[in-house]
Chains A and B, each alone.
Chain A
């Protein structure tokens, strides 16, 4: 293979167990999974990169683009391995981080405890100062008090300081001045200001986000510095980008300044992967479902863009319980994660109800059928007992699954007098219902509809369950892509260089101070452009998007409305109002409210054009595949046993059609085509399942 003028691109995702690296050239994709090297994560990454370059016959100088995502920031928080961090705040509010919402996330559990704040109480200090909700100064900043606290922090060995004052989103002057004093008094110590990290109303979320940023900043900055230096030393002279939780890419410099924005970079890559499939197949409304061994992640992708959110929770005391973690107010791809995956363990609860997850058998000992000491029944065991997985073909035949062990494990959930098949069906149904329920509740929270979406399912366990989940949700099309195992790293290569900023400015639409709004948006735009332009590329090609978060005066939750990316004029008031009312009706029905509308927050995103996936034409089924053999499998929708056709995915070609019921088997997983569905192979070798009787290819 010849050097190819820097057209090679590398995506690298450092996860908790594996580091996935993907190398794409204009003609091919190479991928590798290496073990994550905890002591120095860059080592595993560089090893993986070297292996792929060797495989492709390329040199570092041939690489034009490296995108990196990492769980380093997240793990530092989860394992409390961050820097020694202090909080400087308004006198009287040192406990905001500990009081939180003053509520219990579990109503009936009297033994619950919230996660400990990242900053212990002795390092949370208040100084006299006060700004009112409108931004007026009620009490001037006591600068001597800041200096005195800085001396105490130095004496206590503080490495990083979060500065968070009340209402600093409305007037940042005190925070900025305190930041200057700290920088002078504590050289070498990193300082995070809440007015820069998360300039939005609601002190607990803003303080918590700023504390997390300060907590991970020294570690992330030093890691990124090392990685950058080693890449340069190794002969790479291309740009290095970091994947943000929002699905955009940013430079090393910005990532080192706002590392809290990196926490969800891996899952964001998965969502971007799904979005690229949406673009290839022209799917306007998608439900992306990523089911791994322990969790399922759910994300809506509309018009090829994953939905985004402004709040995320990290370090949940009960991993899947809302409100049990530390809130972070950062731009993040909106997704829900529930404890449902192939390794999820089934049990009977105190009421004799069959429940599945969130406990997982993980990869060690793994499901009972792995024969590695696991004895508890898992979703994978149920899939095996139901005949959906070929015990001889799992992991390419490397691991012979033990059907007897799986069937025996079913005994532990004997909720009814029934054989292993029915119990396995129960496990499968309960876990599918849990995923379907999570989708429905998430849809309600997002004001999204479900029935009219295409379900794109990836991750090892998704193809086994996707058709049944689609049946439960009334969804008519399911897409099972390729390369699902390294989806996040592939997604990194589909993401645009982008940066997003939010600011609170609380005004009614009718009384909007257009001059102030225009000035603020122009400033935000300039700031975002500076970040994005640092990544190179054509400044004229940058796309700016503006969104306002509005509500009826007196409500507590805002909904997003699109705002034109130009200075607003008088004429825009009516348009903003109409856009709000339309969005409100779409979300909550035709209830008429005769109240003024107010805008609380403005969000602005500047993005370079994303690499455009090539659209794939729809393909009509050309050949009906004759199955190799048949297997008896119980179908949960009817409770009946059907003869399922057995087909190998490797042997399928674009245009092939497999009528349901069928099992399409590949190395890591099996796609269950229920009796209600039929599957067609598209030009990208994706499996496209549609309800039987509907014409495949109708979308083209």
Chain B
């Protein structure tokens, strides 16, 4: 009887912890200055035990952050042992190799003190819009060009903010007050979360989170392993070729399902490149596991236990396990492709469960120009192409996957920078034909308000290599980058848009699933009536007249 009640209390506390990190994430969005955090939700918040194991994460988090932070907190502990932590301490880093893969993601970890002892840790990881350097594009040739590197440091010591660090930070960025405001919001969010955890420990008369952490991790681990045990055993291979910076890159994976774990090995994947699209191993693991979890165990809450049965490795020096000081700023371009790669393996083991390939890489439009008064502006807005068709549903149009972020409203983007987005609408004929059609990409046209020239730090994918279909479905349309005047543009790297012209982005569509011949004629007619496919494409791709 008492054991049962103890078990029940642990379950109640588990529910509570998830709500605590949810609160912390809300506080971040409401106090942040970067549009990436406040409007796009490019952030995560999580609680860890004193060994640095992820215990609970906010459901609003984006996979590249959460799963990377899950791997990164042990580095904080190695540098700042629990025994030396003091109340009011906060630790910070943006080291790509320790946490989320590029300098723009800042991680702040703080001890949760209860009764004078460290009960656990709370952390957040946020996409900082401005970290100095070149800005978020693939053009850096080393990490040193990409912005300010913050090693593992004390951000605050016993409640006092590290003034030297803040001064260095302010001096290195273009918008010092906003960046400082952002960093303060990380502290505020962690403090709010820590307070809640402390109250919970008091209510349940607990010393720390470790016992609860053991329970959550054991339960989630067992549930995940039980799902894996039901899968067929074996090894499956897949390769996917994408555009890369100036030449194609092939990502190769083998996926092995064992009795109690799934192993992914990226052996055979191309080597790192001299441009900022390289991926650190943390980030490679983060998106790989996210993709697998969506199919294998989507309902198990994400934590150390749920993640542990997925074992991911990539050869040292490959583009998925790049070494210092390689550039990494636009690592999402490749990292967000990894779910497609491993789902291609999983589809062979479990036919009919994995969606077709999608646009996958977020088309993050990073623009730079001059205001009429000569001051510079930098801005970014997110756009998503089409997702892959699913076993029983068409792919989602203009929707981020695997990324968990939102698009900023056009009216917000235009209020924050002197640009005009002239068009943002679904792109007809871009969804890959199939029994289930791939999601549609979209077409975006942008220029400066006064027609002055501007630059794009291009980092767009699937321009030469479209999203492939599955089980007989056809590929989605490839992306196109051009000027309104007709000139083709490169999909990667910094380029000028001349005065009076517009940048036109046609985002890729998702791949189709299943043979076209099996598509319900009513769906074809509906697509035609709604302008999702043209009459010509209906005839050509579907034989529909």
Residues on A lying within 8 angstroms of B by beta carbon are 91-96, 98-99, 101-104, 107-111, 113-114, 120-122, 126, 130, 132-133, 138, 166-167, 201-204, 349-354, 415-418, 422, 425-426, 429-430, 433-434, 437-438, 440-441, 444-445, 472, 506, 552, 554-557, 587-589, 591-595, 639
Contact = CB atoms under 8 A, between A and B. Distances in A.
Interface residues of B, number: 93
B404 A107 contact: yes
B1 interface: yes
Interface in B402-425: 404-407, 409-412, 414-415, 420, 422-425
- Which 4 pairs between the two chains have the least Cβ-Cβ distance? A556-B38, A92-B423, A108-B298, A102-B407
Contact of B424 (A99, A350, A426, A552): A99
30 contacts: A91-B423, A99-B407, A101-B406, A102-B399, A102-B407, A108-B293, A108-B294, A108-B298, A110-B294, A111-B392, A122-B530, A138-B420, A203-B409, A203-B411, A204-B409, A351-B299, A353-B11, A415-B7, A418-B4, A422-B5, A426-B8, A434-B15, A554-B181, A555-B181, A556-B29, A556-B35, A556-B37, A588-B185, A593-B181, A639-B5
A463 B529 CA distance: 54
A440 B23 contact: yes
A102 to B, nearest CB: 4
A430 B12 contact: yes
Contact of B445 (A92, A167, A353, A444): A92
Nearest to B219: A351
Interface string B47-76: 000000000000101010000000000000
B149 to A, nearest CB: 24
A552 B5 contact: no
A416 B188 CA distance: 39
Given A133-B411, A167-B414, A350-B299, 4 more contacts: A102-B384, A107-B404, A440-B19, A472-B203
Nearest to A472: B203
A104 B223 CA distance: 25
Contacts of A126: 425
Contacts of B27: 444, 588
B393 interface: yes
Given A111-B390, A350-B300, A103 B398 contact: no
A588 B426 contact: no
Contacts of B37: 556
A239 to B, nearest CB: 39
A202 B38 CA distance: 13
Given A122-B529, A122-B531, A138-B449, A94 B407 contact: no
Given A107-B63, A422-B5, A594-B177, A588 B219 contact: no
Contacts of A103: 41, 399-400, 404-407
B454 interface: no
A506 B411 CA distance: 12
A594 B392 CA distance: 53
Interface in B1-35: 1-5, 7-8, 11-12, 14-16, 19, 22-23, 26-27, 29-33, 35
Interface of B: 1-5, 7-8, 11-12, 14-16, 19, 22-23, 26-27, 29-33, 35, 37-39, 41, 59, 61, 63, 175, 177-178, 180-181, 184-185, 187-188, 191-192, 196, 203, 219-220, 222-223, 227, 293-295, 297-302, 355, 382-384, 390, 392-393, 396-401, 404-407, 409-412, 414-415, 420, 422-426, 442, 445, 449, 529-532
A673 to B, nearest CB: 20
Nearest to B299: A350
A487 to B, nearest CB: 27
B26 A444 contact: yes
A554 B37 CA distance: 11
Contacts of A587: 30
Given A351-B301, A555-B31, A416 B404 contact: no
Nearest to A447: B30
B422 A92 contact: yes
A552 to B, nearest CB: 7
A417 B175 CA distance: 59
Contacts of A639: 1-2, 5
Nearest to A200: B411
A353 B219 contact: yes
Given A94-B425, A444-B27, A556-B32, A111 B393 contact: yes
A295 to B, nearest CB: 18
A557 B445 CA distance: 27
A168 to B, nearest CB: 10
B532 A121 contact: yes
Contacts of A472: 203
Contacts of A554: 33, 175, 177-178, 181
A99 B425 CA distance: 8
A91 B181 CA distance: 38
Contact of B426 (A91, A98, A415): A98
Given A108-B298, A349-B299, A595 B420 contact: no
B411 A167 contact: yes
B15 A422 contact: no
A438 B16 CA distance: 10
Contacts of A166: 410-411
B26 A595 contact: no
B32 A350 contact: no
Contact of B12 (A99, A111, A433, A556): A433
Contacts of A552: 33, 181
Contacts of A437: 15-16, 19
Given A111-B390, A556-B32, A591-B184, A93 B19 contact: no
A352 B298 contact: no
B412 A202 contact: yes
A230 B22 CA distance: 50
A99 B398 contact: yes
Contact of B383 (A102, A107, A111, A593): A102
Given A102-B398, A120-B530, A588 B30 contact: yes
Given A133-B414, A556-B29, A104 B396 contact: yes
B425 A557 contact: no
